[in-house]
Each structure stands twice: as C-alpha cells, then as structure tokens.
Chain A
Amino acid sequence: MAGLYLHIPFCKQACTYCDFHFSTSMQTREELVTALITEIKLQADYLPSKTLDTIYFGGGTPSLLSVDELERIFDQIQQYFTINKGAEITLEANPDDLTLAYLRKLRHTNVNRLSIGIQSFREQDLKMMNRAHTAKQAERVVPEAADTGFENLSIDLIYGIPDLKMDGWKKNLDKALALPVNHLSCYCLTVEPRTALAWQVEKGISKAVDDDEAANQYEWLIEKTEVAGIPWYEISNFGKPGFESQHNSNYWKGIPYLGIGPSAHSYNGKNRQWNIRNNPLYIKSINDKKIPFEEEFLTEAQRFNETVLTSLRTRNGLSKEAILKVATEDSWKKIKSQAEIKIANGLIIEKENSLQLTVKGLLLADAIASEFFLL
C-alpha cells in the first residue's frame, strides 16, 4: 500500500486563516509544473512499493492547474508507478475554478474524486475569510459536478467562525447535507500563528474563536451527520460507508506516502522528510536534480506517539494491534490503565482491544493523546 501526494502551491488569493504553503504569484507556474514532473522521477525509489492506491492533489489550489498540466503529471506518474485499478484519485478544488467547461474536461482525466472548498454558504463568512468564491458559486458547484458525472464528491466546511453562531452553522450544515455529496470535511476555524487572521485577532479587527461556541457546533455536527448517514470516521471527516477518504485514512494508519512539490511531506515507515517551503528555491534545486528536503528518523517513542495521536482521532480508535506494531504488550497494558480515569470521566469508551474517544473526548483529543505520549 502506498499513496502519492502532489502539492500545488498557488492560490488566486490568500484566505486569512491559511498557514499552508502557497504563493499568489503565478509567474513560476510553468517551471513549477515541470519541476513536479522532474521530482516524480527523482523520488521514484522512495516508497517501498511502486503501486499507488491513492493519489491526492492538495494545495494551494490544485484546480488552478489546466487539464493539460494534469495530464502531463499523470503521464509521468504512470511512467514510474503503477496506478492500482480502483485507486482513489482526489483533486482539491475551489468552487470558482469548477466551471462547467473545466468539470467536463476534468471528467476525462484520472481524477475520480473532488474535494471542494466551499467552507460556508454565507457571503459574509466568505468575505471575512477572504475566500475567492461567492455564496452563489458555493451553492451551484456541487450539483454541477454531480451532473458532469463525478460520483465521489466531498466538500469542506468551516465552523466556529466568530459571526456564524449556532444558527448559521445549522443552516450551512443542512445545505451541505442536502447536496449530492458522500463525504464532508468540517474544520473548526483555527487561528494559526503568522496568518492574517492571527494578526486581525491580535489587533481586534476579528473576534477570536470562542471555544465553547465551537464545541457546541461540533456536537451538533456529530449528531446531525450521524442521522444523515454520513457519520464521522475521523475528528474532522465524515463519510457514507465506503466513501471514507482512503488517502487520508492511510495517513492515520501509518501507510507510506510520497509527497511531491514544495513543502510536501513524505513518510516511508522509517523516516519523515519534507521539501523546502519556497517555490523558486524548490524549482532551482529540482532543476539541479537535487531534492531540497530535510528529514528526521523517528525514534521508537516518536513512532509510538504518532500512532497514539493519529489513531485516537479515528472512529476505530487506538487499537492493540496498532500499538503492537510500535510497542510491546506491556505498553498496551499501560495505556489501558492510564485510560481508566478517562473512561470513568466519559472521555473514552473501551471496545474489545481498542480505545475510542467519545464526542466529549474528541473535543479534547490533543490533551488526551499527549497524556499517553512517551517522552
């Protein structure tokens, strides 16, 4: 099993909350696509397997790529890897890019799943977050994508937006669930350091996210999606059975992945490496046939911690099986005894050979995970 991630580091405009790597300057677009294609070749031996089960175009804004550019990238992938039959191939897309014409052409590429960044159906939220699309585009895009023939559709929503309030959130969620989607990703608005939003909050231009309000909205989300048949399978991810994102699920299972492009991360089971977060430097280095990366080799404790961190976020929870891959039977016993107080406090439920977070626990997942950490 293995996955391939491609980072497309361009955006039309900067969303205030975003701390991913992107540039709003398209000047290097040509060179960058060429560099991505070169890097695929340079990294061809990184993964333990040559067969890809998932491919994911993330960003940035991958829907800024033309279909031609996508085709060139796919050609190169197929040159060095085998794409498994039935592989999940996702493209992150913004509503304003998904014109009918683009959707129709896209339908003929290998892309078979769209993850659409709607975020909110309310104009004021989109403005506040400096999104490039309008509320109208948000409402239009999913039915059109479905009509074009995309069956595997996911949308992103953001809750906890200061002015959204419970009422606004309920309406947004109702709209989303009425659409022909089989997957949702819902993120709490997070004020990341060194973002425009952080600056606005600091200056008092924007209100800070209210934790209690956000927690209420999350609880509503869990309840509502469960009823709608798109239940949670990871803290921020919801899918109809069989439509959970395989690519992302593999991150949480510790399955190897190769990341191509500036700032992309890779993991081969032993080491994690990540490319430089700078488009021109990335291009220059790739043109010199050098992959501009830093790496770290995980200690046993770090592997253990990552397993705890990622598994606890999933509905399957932290299983004995997962722990035994990175630690001993004794570690599992220790985890179980540490969990007792959490079980008593209603944060964790114990299933056969696994520990799963309750809704109350999901809201405290970081705090709980770190309590199990080894230092």
Chain B
Amino acid sequence: MENIRNFCIIAHIDHGKSTLADRLLEYTNTVSKKDSQAQVLDDMDLERERGITIKSHAIQMDYERNGIKYTLNLIDTPGHVDFSYEVSRSIAACEGALLIVDAAQGIQAQTISNLYLALGSDLTIIPILNKIDLPSAEPEVVKDQIVDLLGCDREEILAASGKTGMGVHEILSAIVDRIPHPKGDPKAPLKALIFDSVFNSFRGIIAYFRIMDGEIRKGDHVKFAAADSEYHADEIGILKLTKTPRDVVKTGDVGYIISGIKEAKEVKVGDTLTHVARPCLENIAGFEEVKPMVFAGIYPVDTDEYEELRGAIEKLQLNDASLVFEPESSAALGFGFRCGFLGMLHMEIIQERLEREFNMTVITTVPNVSYHAYLTNGTDMIVNNPSDFPEPNYMDRIEEPYIRATIITKAEFTGAVMTLCILKRGNIINQSYLTTDRVELIFDMPMAEIVFDFYDKLKSISKGYASFDYHQTGYKESDLVRLDIKLNGEPVDALSALIHRDHSFTFGKKICEKLKELMTRQQFEIIIQAAIGAKIIARETVKALRKDVTAKCYGGDISRKRKLLEKQKEGKKRMRQVGNVEIPQQAFMAILKLDS
C-alpha cells in the first residue's frame, strides 16, 4: 500500500490532458510508443473526435525509482460540467490530482470548479504548466494565476510539454514524492468505491472500484450497498492497458469486477462494494442517485422505427445509467420517448451515439428543465414536459431550477457577458479579478436559460475566451407560461415550449418567423400562430404554392418524371402531419436554431 499512488487529472478541454496522459503511459512502458494511438484513454470514437472524455477510465502503471517499484493508478475523468458528479466520485477515489493548465490559455472556469472538488476531498494537487513549448505561452502570467488559486509556491509548479515529452519524468517523480499513499485498514471489512462502469456485450457490466479498506478475492460473494444487489465476483483484476485478471485486489488499489451484471443501472457510480458475509459498517459518503437535469422528446424520423429506437436507447442505457427514458406520444410526432439527460452535452452525445452506433435518425424536441408545480388542491407535481404543464386555473405556483454560474473571461468581454447573462434573467452575485485581465463572474440564473443557445452565445461574444461552469442551487418561483404553436389552428404539441412570460412575446415572434422559413409551401395557405392559452401573440403566413408542374412530359420524360415524383413522395413520408399541414423534419428543430 505504501507504494501505491492514486491520482486523477484536472484540466480544461484542449489543455492537453490526454496527450500528457499518453506520455505518462509511454514513459512507464505501459504502452510502447509504436502501439500507442493518440488518446489511449478515450476509447470511444466520439471521445477521440471531439477530444473530450465522456466516461471515466482507469489505467495502472508500473514505475520504478531508486530500486523501488511503485504502482501508479491514473483515473481519467470527464471534463464537462454535465458529468460533475462522476468527476466527484473519481476524485474521491484518489489521493492526488495533476492540475494541468495550458501555458497559453490560463485557468478556465471548468478547471476551477473541478479543482475545488479536489481540494474539498483533501487531494494533493500537483500543478503543471503544459504546452510550455508553444510560442504563445505565457508561463509567468499563468504561474501567477496558479499561485493565486492554490496558494502554492512558484517552485512547486512543474513545466511540461505533452508534445515533446518535456517534464514527464519530473511529473512521475512528483507523483511518488508528493502524493500520499492510500491509507486504509487491510484487516477491516471490504469497502470499495465504485467510480464508474462500462458495458461489454460479452461480459456484461464491468465495474471499476477503488478499495478503501479490506480486500476482494475472486469468487467472493459481494453486494452493492445502495443498489442492494448481490453477486459473485466472477472475475476481478487490475486495469493495465487491458484488463488483467488477479486472484486478489488489495487495500488502496484500483481494480475491476465482472459479476454477471447485465445493465448499467444495477451499478451506481458512488456506490459502496462490500462483502455479503462481513459488510462494512458504514457506506462511503457522497453517494447520489443520478438526476437528469434536461429533458427532451426523442422520436424516430421514420415512424416505423419506434421499436428499433427503443432497442437502441435501451442498449445505450446499458452502459450509460444516467440516461433515463419513458415512452411518450405526440400528436405531431407519433410515438417516441421522453429522455432525461445530465445536461446539453450529454443530450448531444446520446443523439450522436444513436445516429452513429445504431444508425437511427431522430427528431429531438425542444429541451426543457424539470419544474415543480404546486396545484391549488394542495398537491404538487414534477413537470418534465410542456404537455404536463397544468392549466393556469389549477396552478398555485410553479418553481424552476436555478444555477450558480461561474464564468471566467478576459476583462474586455465583461460587459458583453454581463449583458448576455442579464438578458438570460441572471443576477450577478460576484465579480472578481483573477489577474489583471481575467475576471471571474458569478451569476444566479435560471437553468432553463442555459438549456439552449447560451453556451454558443457566450463563446461568440467572448471570441471563444469565456469558460463556463455551473451547479444547481435550488428552485425558485417563476412566472412561466406554455407557448403553443398552431398551424392552421391546430396546435403542434411537439413545438410547445415552457418559457418565462417576459420572454414569451419575442420568443413567439421569432419562432413564427423561423417556422415560416422552414415550412414548405403547400397547396393552401398556412397560418402559423404562437399562442399562450387562447391568446395569439404572433402570426405569420406561408403563401399557398401556386406552381408545381413539369413543362414537358413526352416519351423520354415519363419514367424520369415518375421516378422523381415517387422519390419526392417517399421523402414526404418522413414529414409529419398536423391537421392537413405537412411539417418538415427541420421545423421541429426550429427552436434550437433561433438566434435570440
């Protein structure tokens, strides 16, 4: 146990976490240089392409110094705010963290919030200035930021380049010297923290754990405390580049267990793994059930593919327990699912995985957050869907979730960021200068306002420099309305949105304009209306199509024309119909594309 070091890496996207991790693996001969493909740890295609980590990973390295052999367990964590709970559990499995900061870009909001999580768990932080070889690097300025943030000595900050390998030996030494070895009682009952799980189509769920006390042996009868389920440890082992089976994994170490678990939801991140016969007295603190924050309907583009979509979502849920779904139906879109996501990135990822891994084209409806409605009859309900929005006369009040948003930006963009956040109903809580030209702004904001079109806006007004992080703070009463869209008088349920009354007029007008642009002309006039209850607040008209006819239809034209019209008709099958109005697929995405 004295020779084990467990650590994670805290870094902002693009600050070089994965490349530096690759170097660590290479210098410890965990992977040979020729076998290494970029970003060894990010094994999902999507992760590699986007340069983001979605799942937590773990890898064990052997490192020898002065004749002593050390076991270094690197636990790689997702970097995005959507996955902050997963990050917190990975941090809880470690004693130390490498804080990687891009020497050119400096500290970002995301890094700070994860750093606070790490400091809160008493982790030893090793600050590393990465990409030191870049011409635009400003090592002294960024060092100032780090010193301010950590209160460490300048000398403690290591300089490195993942690209050239500079500083990697120093990092390995610092891991051994600075990070404390795990402490735990080898004699005590088994107590292991589950920090992630992956799904393997042959083996089922493979759960990753860190042993706090005791040890686990192959064949042990074990239980997951919060899930309250029992299994036999069919296989246990440690995580080298590939899974390496062992008969025993001891106190302080990181390993995996395969026990015939079929679905991800049976293994909860943060849960405690212990023995059935001799359970630990207390479970590991900090366990939470994952709670989806953002909800949207997902429908197959082709209505015949409902069952296939269900199959695909179920399979995704096997390895992503944070995805929740239930069947729902819409008059406009037919049968589909209301899905809950950890955040917008998570939603995008699920949508993309459905398309890539399952070849499903889907329509996603306007995302919304989860509201609490209190009814006049004294009961309350959760509203995850505009269609659940209670009739105003039955509703006493409705509350919406608020977040504390942290934005770090260059000082010159402060004004623009403030304007945006205030427009999004934010209240500024604090403004402080991290350095002379970097400002941290903290806002109290309704979460609904960041669900769409916030992050992109923020990036564009700050020329890409602002970084953003948030956590949910609670619920506050709100003046919400349901905005309905009607086409020739028929409401289109899939286009309804829950929105603050103050924004409803502008929003209604914009959505009508956008729809006018996206609707195809039909043989009759289409009237697009935005309504709150019976009150029409905006209206647009799509003129009737007057001309759709081929000029020539002679010997050679007949079959060509027939094929063309058959193809068009086939394409129309993918359109949805409300009343007699056909709605093209992209119209359902209209709200996501509004520039407000």
Q: Could you list which residues of chain A lie within 8 angstroms of chain B, going by C-beta atoms?
A: 5, 58, 187-188, 190, 211-212, 214-215, 218, 234-236, 248, 251-252, 257, 259, 263-267, 272, 274, 296, 302, 305-306, 309-310, 313, 341, 345, 347, 362-371, 373, 375
Contact = CB atoms under 8 A, between A and B. Distances in A.
B422 interface: no
B152 to A, nearest CB: 61
B566 A370 contact: yes
Interface in B512-565: 523-524, 545-556, 558-559, 561-562, 565
A121 B558 CA distance: 30
Given A5-B555, A218-B547, A309-B553, 10 more contacts: A212-B547, A267-B555, A272-B559, A274-B556, A305-B562, A309-B562, A310-B558, A364-B548, A365-B549, A370-B568
Given A370-B568, A375-B566, A375-B569, A265 B545 contact: no
Contacts of A371: 569
Contact of B565 (A259, A265, A370): A370
Interface of B: 523-524, 545-556, 558-559, 561-562, 565-566, 568-570, 573, 580
A323 B226 CA distance: 69
A-B interface, 10 closest residue pairs, ranked by CB to CB distance from nearest: A187-B551, A265-B556, A370-B565, A367-B548, A365-B549, A211-B547, A215-B546, A215-B547, A265-B555, A363-B547
B566 A366 contact: no
A367 B546 CA distance: 10
Contact of A373 (B524, B546, B566): B566
Contacts of A214: 547
A21 to B, nearest CB: 9
A74 B524 CA distance: 51
Contacts of B559: 265, 272, 296, 306
Contacts of B524: 345
Contact of B548 (A263, A305, A363): A363
Chain B binding surface SS class? loop
A219 to B, nearest CB: 10
B102 to A, nearest CB: 44
A34 to B, nearest CB: 23
Nearest to A265: B556
A363 B551 contact: no
Nearest to A347: B523
A248 B562 contact: no
Contact of B523 (A212, A362, A364): A364
A13 to B, nearest CB: 20
A365 B573 CA distance: 19
Contacts of B549: 188, 235, 362-366
B553 A259 contact: no
Contact of B556 (A188, A263, A296, A313): A263
13 contacts: A215-B547, A235-B549, A257-B555, A265-B555, A272-B558, A305-B562, A305-B566, A306-B562, A364-B523, A365-B550, A366-B561, A373-B566, A375-B569
A306 to B, nearest CB: 5
A373 B569 CA distance: 8
Given A251-B555, A265-B559, A267-B555, A364 B566 contact: no
Contact of A187 (B552, B555, B570): B552
- Name the residue in A263, A364, A370, A375 with the highest tally of chain B Cβ atoms < 10 Å from its Cβ: A370
Given A214-B547, A235-B549, A370-B569, A259 B562 contact: no
Contact of A309 (B551, B554, B565): B565
Contacts of A235: 549, 551, 553
Contacts of A375: 566, 569-570, 573
B556 A306 contact: no
A263 B554 CA distance: 13
Contacts of B558: 251, 265, 267, 272, 306, 309-310
A296 B560 CA distance: 12
B554 A364 contact: no
Contacts of B523: 345, 347, 364, 367-368
Given A309-B562, A363-B548, A367-B545, A248 B568 contact: no
Contacts of A366: 548-550, 561, 565
Contact of B551 (A188, A274, A370): A188
Contacts of B562: 302, 305-306, 309
A265 B555 CA distance: 6
Contacts of A274: 556
B365 to A, nearest CB: 28
Contacts of B580: 341
Contact of A236 (B545, B551, B569, B573): B551
- Name the residue in A5, A212, A251 with the highest tally of chain B Cβ atoms < 10 Å from its Cβ: A251
A293 to B, nearest CB: 12
Given A188-B551, A370-B569, A375-B566, A264 B546 contact: no
A373 B565 contact: yes
B546 A251 contact: no
Nearest to A209: B547
A358 to B, nearest CB: 12
Contact of A259 (B546, B550, B556, B573): B556
